[in-house]
Structure 1
């Protein structure tokens, strides 16, 4: 029988808050209860925002909470070659295309379409990609790339879904509307998602599924804000022949106005709470977990 593997995967672009503590503690507790392993991963592909001092602070906070994890810690920034290989595979399957529109150009296209009829949004409320880069002639693509133009690598969601067929995932937690059990994936709701960029051969979606597979993660425990993103993750797992973990999405920690906590919310930051005299037991109580 495979030993369960759980993971906590923060981005070192800020300090941890109570929402991170809930996720980290749940993963650690569930791993211990299942007789499994607990691994730590730094999701640091964003070189402009992720900094060593934040990673050091994350490690310090987690150790203060009483968590222990296997070594070495996986850092995404050290594995770009693996992500590039996966991108090349998707390209060989003719499932990706470069899109050259800037963020401003995309915003302008969406504004024009919203005048006529509200343009579709993804489950996070972000407008889906409105461009037609997938229809661009191959020679034109090559010419723009040779010219050094910036581009995003997008997944042709329609072709990818034709390749994979219907998909589901096993959910032992719940979604925003109490969804649980066998969940039907709906990748089309996200449109042609970004899976890489000219300067970075990956994206969150691509990295997370590859990392989970390479670290042998069997149980993904994370917040409900990522519930429907699992549709994209299941699609990429299918396309790349990766195993599908069991998913468990947990409640979110919210501020006084009902918004998800952010790393800029000092009142709920672990470092601030610790400096104010809080103990690890206090943090467990604040996130609603037993001591």
Structure 2
């Protein structure tokens, strides 16, 4: 009895220790974001940035955020980013689900070699691909349009890999039973496996959304028209034009620019956690 009570106290102490350590690291990780939001509410930061940095503004005011939401160019950049991101996420996730299912459950010649080639694309950074992609889209006359930002997302090695790993955990008996009922491959995918792929689809939506929304280098290369600028391009141009003279307004813009990602994650986080939990369960 005494030993069990002692073991329980040790476990409680260990839980509290882990909680305190994780809480400290969480505060450290969140501090830059809290500071960014705080500076956005600090009207005096437009004159000079507060130093040393403080998490609570001396004169809190929604002035900077009011100007942000009245900014026509920001609204246009939001529309541009929304069009590009929604299209990229839909096409990228849809194609990755189909490819992941084919690599996991399909039986065709050269499957392993093709999958290795897909994995090899993960080792090639964006920089070496800029010139070939730019030349390609220049020849077909698609520069200064949204197509160069959307079409390359059709093939995403990371998303295809995640889909294959997820479908590998699902039992093959589901496919065999559907085949016995006369179902073709597309029918099996859409009616049997796709309804089970909600968690991994939500994870891919978040990843693809973040990649597309935050993309800066590739849009900078292919979009020269300011009317087509996405949110990162507009934020960069605003920072270059004003430097640190409007620090509060710049931080307010930065805060507003990440809001869609935060909102999307809050809605889909439970599916992400579910996909992580299911990734270690092998179906029988």
User: TM-score band (shorter)?
Assistant: under 0.3
Q: Which has the higher strand share?
A: 1
Q: TM-score, normalised by structure 1?
A: 0.22
- Higher RCO structure (Cα 8 Å, ≥6 apart): 2
Max Rg structure: 2
TM-score (norm 2): 0.22
Q: Which has the higher helix share?
A: 2
